[in-house]
Chain A
Amino acid sequence: MIEVVSASRCVTCDVCIAVCPTDVFDAGTDGIPVIARQGDCQTCFMCEAHCPADALFVAPLTHPAPPGSPFRDEEHVTRTGLLGSYRRELGWGRGRKPGARNAVGPELGRARITPAAAESS
């Protein structure tokens, strides 16, 4: 779920309020959006992908991160390079090449069925 809105990075463009499919954000009085309905977040990472300032962090969990979780800590997600990492992969943002250009996965063969313990060793 969405956990971090970085007040220092946010350029108050309201893009996240517009693009969130489940209407999680409200405009804040200081222009910085607030996470108003976190419970409605479907963890789709779309706000993060569209935020032009890498100001949003979506934790990879379908429930709110517990208090004290590093996922709620802006300093942690910045230092570890997680903040803005999805945009980097998508190749979105100035001077980047669209990631879609490289999006060729491996040939998918027949799906594998897990063998029994005895056979697998």
Chain B
Amino acid sequence: MTTTALDLTADVVIVGGGPAGTWAALTAATAGADVLLLDKGYCGTSGPTASGGTGVWYVQPEPAAREKAMASREALGGYLQDRRWMARVLDQTYENMDRLGAEARYPFPVVDGRAFKGGLQGPEYMRRMRSWIRRAGVRILDHSPVTELLVDAAGTVAGVHGHRRQHHTGYRVRAGAVVLATGGCAFLSKALGCDVATGDGALYAAEAGAAMSGMEFSNAYGIAPTFTSVTKTAYYGFATFFQQDGTPLAGAGSQGGRSVIAAELLRAGTVLCQIDQATPEQQAQMRSGQPNFFLTFDRLGINPFTDKFPVTLLLEGTVRGTGGIQLVDDDCATSVPGLYAAGDAATRELICGGFTGGGSHNSAWAMSSGTWAGGGAARFATALGASALRRRLTGAGGVALRPTGGASYGGDPGAEAKDVLRRQVHPYDKNYLRHGDRLRPALDELDEVWARLRAGATAEPAATPRLRQAAAMVAHARWMYTAALARTESRGMARRQDFPGLDPAQRRRLTVGGLDEIWVRPESAARPELAVAS
């Protein structure tokens, strides 16, 4: 368990310093709150946006353009989006991108005399967000993973525990409200910038009583050259794919043909690719547009436009999937008082339905939901007043902190959990090309591992964050597969080989939750009170 060496207070604690966390911190600080931002890594480089960069869902506020933007992916998302939330996100993103240019002096490119705001270069964006929030008075603790939420006697979230890994000490923060902006869960796949995204926030939220939504749409896989990390998929829209012997792999594509790639990788182990459909002018534009896309190729001595190179698919889970913590209000409140969620940690079903994958919505969601969550948390903390600091706090964390079983865990629980995830969650024929006959045994094994972790796993303070990560990933996998089994149809990214058709009766969101016992039910039946009670 974490020893409490450092004792801090704040009006608002932000967990995670990616785009969602930094926008939340900025908004809360601007509203007058005393804000502390805690990052597992380093605010400014941590998370997929910093290293990957993002296309942004930035649309001019013209009715026709907005209508087109909202309608364009509704079918792809299985009609599970909410138009009101989409419109809010478009408005907020438009405002935030303009502020980024005006107040953070982001150097937008100029096209035809006008600033082009359809994308952000990751390192530049996140470096500026860090200095912007510091100017706004936000305190930042880097290399300080949060390990659990603290709650008061009524179950209201009132702070966090964590560990400062470069200072070898634990810490506690008392707070008026907490924003979880910990990113999604990519299961340590080594996809670009994703190894910090292990789903910690969702575990902590569930321990406090929150539920998840959209978890069946969490099987995103990104294309990368084999043995590399750069899962940037957009430019593969200009590619042709081949079998090992050079025959074109019919039906393969970056969009709408990724399952063909997955099937061929399973069958033959190799898929080759060549980005041969781009004109010389487009090739030059690609290079300036996304320099990090070419890092790998330049260093490996591959010319992707003229050479055939092997590709693989790396699991990006909920980072580019849809699932996350369920929201119950416009300010990104969760069903637990005092707890807010934003970015990949929160469900993106509201604007994406059952499909993300293609870039732009995710970044728009991160900055918009971050802005709302930061504002909501500041208001909640202000309303508590001074009484906030007098509450008696208890740790809400269970697995890997407070074992239930008595008997200690034989072996290395973290390593075993990772091994199960490698065998049951990463493989394409389990998580991507899904079939009930393969999902059920995988879920059984995940449940079994969870039970053993829950009963006996503990770690030294320095190793606790890692063990909590492992537990969070196992919890994610169980929510994902439980929801995937409950959706007996193919909609959005949740495709079932045993149920290939779309079932109009299942056009509804699924809520999933629980830790030792996982439950799933259609959203309409899951009132917030119920979620807390279960």
Contact = CB atoms under 8 A, between A and B. Distances in A.
Interface of A: 17-23, 40, 42-46, 49-50, 59-63, 71, 82, 85-86, 89-90, 92, 98-106, 108-117, 120
Contact of B241 (A19, A59, A114): A114
Which of A82, A85, A114 has most B Cβ within 10 Å?
A114
A114 B248 contact: yes
Nearest to A42: B195
A50 to B, nearest CB: 7
Given A21-B41, A103-B53, 9 more contacts: A44-B229, A62-B190, A90-B124, A99-B124, A101-B109, A105-B235, A113-B252, A117-B250, A120-B248
Contact of B194 (A42, A46, A50, A101): A42
Given A46-B50, A105-B286, A18 B142 contact: yes
A19 B42 contact: yes
B486 interface: no
Contacts of B41: 20-23
B391 interface: no
B228 A62 contact: yes
Given A98-B124, A103-B109, A42 B190 contact: yes
A103 B45 contact: no
> Chain B's interface: helix, strand, loop or mixed, by majority?
loop
A3 to B, nearest CB: 11
B193 interface: yes
Contact of B234 (A60, A105, A112): A105
Interface residues of B, number: 74
A103 B299 CA distance: 21
Contacts of B194: 42
A21 B109 contact: no
B318 interface: no
Contacts of B190: 42-43, 62
A25 to B, nearest CB: 10
A104 B109 CA distance: 7
A46 B288 contact: no
**Most chain A beta carbons < 10 A, residue from B107, B119, B120, B299:** B299
Given A60-B228, A100-B109, A106 B289 contact: yes
B46 A21 contact: yes
Interface stretch (B277-285, B502-510, B525-533): B277-285
Given A23-B165, A42-B194, A112-B253, A103 B240 contact: no
Contacts of B519: none
Nearest to A63: B227
Interface in B309-366: none
7 contacts: A17-B166, A44-B229, A59-B299, A103-B289, A103-B291, A104-B111, A112-B277
B42 A44 contact: no
Contacts of A100: 106-109, 120-121, 124
A109 B279 CA distance: 13
B285 A114 contact: no
The residue in B123, B228, B254, B289 that gathers the most chain A C-beta atoms within 10 A of its C-beta is: B123
Given A18-B142, A42-B193, A106-B286, A115 B42 contact: no
Nearest to B312: A62
B256 interface: yes
B138 to A, nearest CB: 17
Interface in B421-459: none
B256 A105 contact: no
Contacts of B119: 103-105
B291 A86 contact: yes
B285 A106 contact: yes
A40 B198 CA distance: 14
A21 to B, nearest CB: 3
B300 interface: yes
A102 B109 contact: yes
B291 A116 contact: no
B237 A109 contact: yes
B530 to A, nearest CB: 37
B333 to A, nearest CB: 29
Top 9 A-B pairs, shortest CB-CB distance? A105-B289, A21-B41, A89-B291, A111-B255, A116-B250, A43-B229, A21-B46, A44-B51, A111-B237
Given A60-B296, A112-B238, A112-B253, A117 B248 contact: yes
